[in-house]
Structure 1
Amino acid sequence: MAVQDIYPISLRLLGRPVLVVGAGPVAARRAKGLLDAGALVTVVAPEAEGGVRALADAGLVRWRERGYLAGDLDGVWFVQTATGVAEVDSLVAADAEAQRIWCVNASDHEASAAWTPAVAEVDDVKIAISAGGDPRRAAVLRSAVAVALECGDLPLRRHRTSPGASGSVALVGGGPGDPGLITVRGRRLLAQADVVVADRLGPRDLLADLDPEVRVIEVGKAPGHHLVPQQQINEILVREAQAGHRVVRLKGGDPYVLGRGGEEALFCRAQGIDVEVVSGVTSAVSVPAAAGIPVTHRGLAKAFTMISGHEELSNVPAGSDHTVVLLMGVGTLRRSAELLAANGRGPDCPVGIIENGYGADQRVTIGTLAGIADQAEAAGVANPAVIVVGDVVRVSPLAAVALAKAKISID
């Protein structure tokens, strides 16, 4: 049988009687697959191994405990042979051919009237692969395609929806901006989206891979400049979901870490919209790591506090052995440095500023609380940036030289 001779098609077997001849491991796998399709499965075999016997004991299949008879084909829509005995499988296949019943002959794929493909299911997408009668090759290809679907590398967006279908909202944390740092789940949801409501700091490169019909609504915010007010963003999410769309709210970092994701989730749920929250790699931890700075480190820091740079710092635990991570803190850096230095850390406490973490233009500025504001001002440091205060900054491979220069300037 040549591949050109095959016409791929999906059978709807719900409620229809099918026959499996044989009761070994292959027969058990095929019986389970047919049950998953909703078929009424009868197994014919004088003996059964554990898989088929378990299905029969559970009442999921009817087991005729004997050899095959021609009358077993009466009223059957589909047949699978898997006895392991070529003569028996060929007899069943010949009888099925005479009655114009489709039959898979496990003993002779070349003579078989039908082939069983390797199958995988991702969400509501089912893929079936035939590979020239080579089941192992088909299985490997099936697994590779399934992984690509799982990871969102293939387009999963629906182009045909049922009338009245309800929409949904997914709050997806895209990480610090590098497209490789979004989660697999987030990437898959993005591949399924009809509408993407995008932030300025999310993984923007992924937007170029979207289906051309996907609408991207820009709602990005910058310090002191909110292009779209939060209430309007909430209303956009609800409006698009109520129109039956799959909506992805693509955010930088994590939706629930200074991302106002909680507000968006509550607003959508109050309007009866189904909401999924997909955590992301927060910039509070990942961006320092991009500069070689851990937020905790054995012997240096056992805990850290993440706080907005606009918040009061007087209640942050004192001592440089407790790491402080400031987000959106460039504009208030001088005031923050003074407060932290006066609150038990002292002027020599190390500080690291990482701008555009993981971006091509990432830049790291390292100094101490005494001079970091002047350094940042002279260098033109700007948001997006993450500021790390504490002894952990010393772990960065960039720290030794930078702190030595800062010490000289202080003296």
Structure 2
Amino acid sequence: MTYPVGLRLEGKKVVVLGGGQVAQRRLPALIAAGADVLLVSPDATPSVEAMATGGEIRWERRPYRDGDLADAWYALVTTSDPDANARASAEAEAHRVWCVRSDDAGAATAWTPATGRSDGVTVAVLTGRDPRRSAAVRDAVVEGLHTGTLAAPRHRDRAPGVALVGGGPGDPDLITVRGRRLLAEADVVIADRLGPRDLLDELPPHVEVIDAAKIPYGRYMAQEAINNALIEHAKAGKAVVRLKGGDPFVFGRGTEEVEALAAAGLTCTVVPGVTSAISVPGAVGIPVTHRGVAHEFTVVSGHVAPDDERSLTNWPALAQTRGTLVVLMGVERAAAIADALIAHGRPADTPAAAIQEGTTAAQRRVDAPLSELAAVIAAEDIRPPAVIVIGDVVKRSGR
């Protein structure tokens, strides 16, 4: 049996015997720990030599000799000389220096665990004399912490604040690693309807999940009520995640939430998300750009019609572009959008497609010339959320 412990080696003398591949793997962690590393070896790998040249370690170019471990706190014996290893191990025992041996773990007084790090957490795994299993367990734990599938929320030194997380287009696997980890650490999650709903089922029971669409608005506008909820929970000292579909800053009103939090004196971490403007067409094989076909793509919101006085989009200019046009939130106004584009010069037979609930199990796609797209959308009962793609790239998907 071993007794696990974390060594604080900052400023402490550590002696490494041998400058080969084992030392090359172990030295970076010792350097990162702030140890005063003395390497004793006639030669070294180029990487180890670079550590010495860079002043990260001290290097005495010679074989081991008795007395090298004097005043050391920790020793790593990695030479190819069995006799030198045995003598160094005996010296370490005599001076009560914890000693790791790469050639004979049974003769060592310490073993090096398989270690990994994730967001300030160090994972160290020992499985006796099965280093491959140690590495496999370490990798599984680090991966779980990294992706958030292994929940390990913080409980100390956690400042109140909000993480504005882009959840991606719908498939829960398309959220970023950082976004998923923050979800796993949350106390409160305020979620949009278009966020990856399946991820909410994975949250621990103590996490409060608030549907942003059901916040009681009272006399406030919807966005102001959401802002107030974010501020209220953050000021209560909770870790709050605002989970949004796609990317928070692509028609997601994320800037409004960041500004409201800043005005309340609260920090906000923005985690970009995979925007549906690119990922949903990609999920059905439509590239938004393609060599010799489209050298640019434009993303616009279709939540107001082209002739609406609130529209900020220059539809006549868009009609004259040769690149790809991606319309979000445009299903209900597909006819008006097509009419405006055609009226200002976009060919009526321009290939177009509408993709409903892209990247999810409910994904559907319909294709039609621009002039007929609205009719096909209605006939096929395509409903929001859906992405409309207009341009010759639609033909590049094999459809």
TM-score scaled by structure 1? 0.79
Shift of 1:218: 2.0
Shift of 1:154: 2.6
Q: Indicate the residue corresponding to 1:327 in structure 2.
A: 328
Query: Residues 366-394 of structure 1: CA distance to partner in whole angstroms, max 9, x if unpaired?
Result: 33454444444444432112223344444
Q: Indicate the residue corresponding to 1:9 in structure 2.
A: 5
Classify the secondary structure of the residue corresponding to 1:345.
coil
Spell out the pairing of 1:33-44 with structure 2 (5 A cutoff). 33-44=29-40
Shift of 1:69: 5.8
Q: Distance in 1 between matches of 2:21 and 2:347?
A: 71
Spell out the pairing of 1:3-402 with structure 2 (5 A cutoff). 5-45=1-41, 54-56=50-52, 58-63=54-59, 68=64, 71-135=67-131, 138-139=134-135, 141-143=137-139, 145-158=141-154, 160-162=155-157, 165-220=158-213, 229-298=222-291, 300-311=293-304, 313=306, 314-318=315-319, 321-345=322-346, 347-395=348-396
The answer (yes or no) to whether the contact 1:127–1:142 under 8 Å persists in 2 is yes
Shift of 1:179: 1.3
- CA RMSD of the aligned region, Å? 3.5
- Structure 1 alignment gaps of length 5 or more: 399-411
Q: Distance in 2 between matches of 1:49 and 1:378?
A: 69
The answer (yes or no) to whether the contact 2:304–2:333 under 8 Å persists in 1 is no
* Closer, same or farther: CA 241–41 of 1 in aligned 2, 3 Å: farther
Shift of 1:360: 2.4
User: Residue 367 of structure 1 aligns to which amino acid in structure 2?
Assistant: A
Query: Residues 103-130 of structure 1: CA distance to partner in whole angstroms, max 9, x if unpaired?
Result: 2122211221211112221211111223
Shift of 1:183: 2.6
Q: Decide which moves more: 355-364 or 172-181.
A: 355-364
Classify the secondary structure of the residue corresponding to 2:251.
coil
Shift of 1:346: 5.4
Q: Decide which moves more: 291-300 or 110-119.
A: 291-300
TM-score scaled by structure 2? 0.81
User: Residue 202 of structure 2 aligns to which amino acid in structure 1?
Assistant: D
Q: How many residues align?
A: 388
Q: Distance in 1 between matches of 2:23 and 2:277?
A: 53
Classify the secondary structure of the residue corresponding to 1:154.
coil
Query: Residues 6-34 of structure 1: CA distance to partner in whole angstroms, max 9, x if unpaired?
Result: 22222223343333344444345434422
The answer (yes or no) to whether the contact 1:175–1:281 under 8 Å persists in 2 is yes
Query: Residues 39-72 of structure 1: CA distance to partner in whole angstroms, max 9, x if unpaired?
Result: 3334445666655555555554455666656655
Q: Decide which moves more: 356-365 or 271-280.
A: 271-280
- Structure 2 alignment gaps of length 5 or more: 307-314
The answer (yes or no) to whether the contact 1:86–1:108 under 8 Å persists in 2 is no
